[in-house]
Chains A and B, each alone.
Chain A
Amino acid sequence: MKLLDQFRTNRAAPARPATEHTIELQHEEDEALVRRAQRGQTRAFDLLIERYKERLYATVYHMTSNREDAHDLVQDTFIKAYRSLGSFKGQSSFYTWVYRIAVNRTINFLKRGKNRTHHSLDNVDDAIQTDPDFVELMSQDTPRRETGLHEQQQRMNAALQKLSDNHRAVVVLHDVQGMTHADIAKMMKCSEGTVRSRLFYARQQLQGLLSEYW
C-alpha cells in the first residue's frame, strides 16, 4: 500500500461512523485526548478539533473581520497543532496552547498584509433582538438608534480593524470572548499588567473611533 493511501486510511475519521470507542473518547478530558493523539490515535485529535473549532473560529473571525480568512487560519492552526503535538508537554492546557497558536498565526497573517482588504462578515443572528445589552443600547437616545443593525456591525468591525493587532487581540479575547486577563496573559505570553494596559488603550481608541455612539 502506498504511504499516502495508508495515511488516508489512518486519518479517515470523518467517514467512520461513531463507534463505541469514539463515544467513550468524547467524555475524556483534553489531557487524556492529547496523550492518545500523541500516541497516534487520530480520532482523539479529531475530537479535540470538534471541541474547539467554533471557539477558535469566532476569535480569529473577530480579529480578521473576514470569514474566509478565519476559516483558513483555523484549519491552518489545527494542522500546525497536529504537527507540533509531540512538543506539547502539557505545561499549559491544550486549550491555551491551541489558542496561542491561532492568535499568533492570525497576528502574523495580519502583519504580512495578506488579509483580504474587504470585510466578509457573518450575519447577526436573530437572538440579538432579545439580548438585554442590545435592548438597552437601542433604548438610549443616541444616533445609533437610526442606523441599521448591519451598518452598526460594519462600523464596529471597521473600528476594530484600525487597532493594532495586539490591541485588537486583547479586546476580542476579553470583551468579545470573555476571557480573563490571566488567561490572555498566558496565551499572549505577556504580563497581566500588559493585558490591562493594552485593553485600556484599545478601548480609548475605540471610543474615539465610535464617538457617534456616546
Chain B
Amino acid sequence: MKCYRVQQLYDDLASGRLPEPLSRDVRQHLADCTDCRVQHQRTGRLQRLLALKRHEQPPAGYFDNFLTEFNARLDADLRRAGFWRRLFAAADLEPLLSWRYGLATAGCLIGALGLLWVGLGQSPAPGSATAPAAGGESMIVFAPAPRGADDDLIAPRFELPLIYATDVEPTISSARVNPSGPVVQQVGATRYVLDRISVTPARYDVSSVDF
C-alpha cells in the first residue's frame, strides 16, 4: 500500500469506518512504515489540539438578543430595498422573491411586452376600433365608449376588436349584485390612451445564493 493512500485514510481508521481487509492493510502499513506511523501520531495530536477549540465559547447570554437583532437587520435591509420587496415582506411573501419567481415574472413581462409590440405594430383599418364586437372573443379589452370621430386620432391600435364596458353583460353571481343599483355608462368619457411604456429593469438582488 502506498504511503499517500494510507495517509488519506487516517480519519476512517480512527472512526472505525474502514472495511476489514482495508483496515488490516492500513494497520500493517503503519506498523511497517516509520514515516507514516509518526505522521499518524502527529495527526492524532493535532486533531486533539484542534478539538479543544470547541471550548472557546462566547460569553453567557451572547445569543439572547440574536432573534431581535435578526429582525432589526431584516427591517433595516427592507428599508434600503425597493417598494416591491416591502410589499412582499408585508404580505409575508418575501420568499417568493427568489430567482425562480423572478425569472417567471420577467418571462411574463417580456411575453406581455412582446404581445403588445406585435399588437401595436399592426394597424387596423380606420374606425375598426370603434366597432363593438360580438361576444365570445378570446381577449376582451375594456375601454370606455368613444366620444366621437375625433378620438380616432388618438385611438389605440388593437388588432382584436374592442368590447366596450357598456356592451358587456355582468357575469358575476346575482347574489352579489344589487339589481337596483345604478348602471354606470361612461358615455362620452375620454378614451384612455397608452402612449408610452416605461419599463424599469426589475432588480432581483436575491437571485442566487453566491457560494
Residues of A within 8 A of B (CB): 3-4, 6-8, 10-15, 37-38, 40-42, 46, 49-50, 53-54, 57-58, 61-62, 67, 75, 78-80, 82-87, 100-101, 104-105, 108, 121-125, 127-128, 131, 133-134, 136-137, 153, 156, 171, 174-176, 178, 181, 189, 196-197, 199-200, 203, 206-207, 210, 213-214
- The answer to whether A75 and B69 touch across the interface, beta carbons within 8 angstroms, is yes
Assess whether B54 is interfacial by the CB under 8 Å rule.
yes
Chain B, residue nearest A97 (CB): B209
Q: Which residues of B contact A (CB under 8 A)?
A: 7-8, 11, 42-43, 45-59, 63, 66-71, 73-75, 77-79, 86-87, 89-101, 206, 209-211
Q: Is the CB of A200 within 8 A of B8?
A: yes
Knowing that A50-B67, A214-B45 touch, tell me 5 more A-B residue pairs with CB under 8 angstroms: A7-B78, A8-B71, A80-B206, A101-B211, A213-B45
> Does A134 lie within 8 Å of B45, measured CB to CB?
no
Q: Which residues on the A side are within 8 Å of B87 (C-beta)?
A: 3
Known contacts: A3-B90, A42-B92. The answer to whether A78 contacts B70 by CB under 8 A is: yes
B70 & A122 in contact (Cβ 8 Å cutoff): no
B52 touches A122 (CB 8 A): no
* B79 → A minimal CB distance (Å): 7
| A–B complex contacts, Cβ < 8 Å, 7 sampled | A13-B71, A75-B66, A75-B73, A83-B98, A87-B98, A156-B53, A210-B49
CB atoms of A128 and B89 under 8 A apart: no
Cβ contact within 8 Å between A214 and B42: yes
**Closest chain A CB from B143 CB (angstroms):** 32
Knowing A3-B86, A123-B57, A196-B8, say if A134 contacts B52 (CB, 8 Å): yes
Q: Decide if A79 touches B73 in the complex (CB within 8 Å).
A: yes
Cβ of B71 and Cβ of A82 under 8 Å apart?
Answer: no
Q: Which of A40, A57, A104 contacts B93 (CB 8 A)?
A: A40
Across the interface, which residues of A come within 8 angstroms of B7, CB to CB?
200
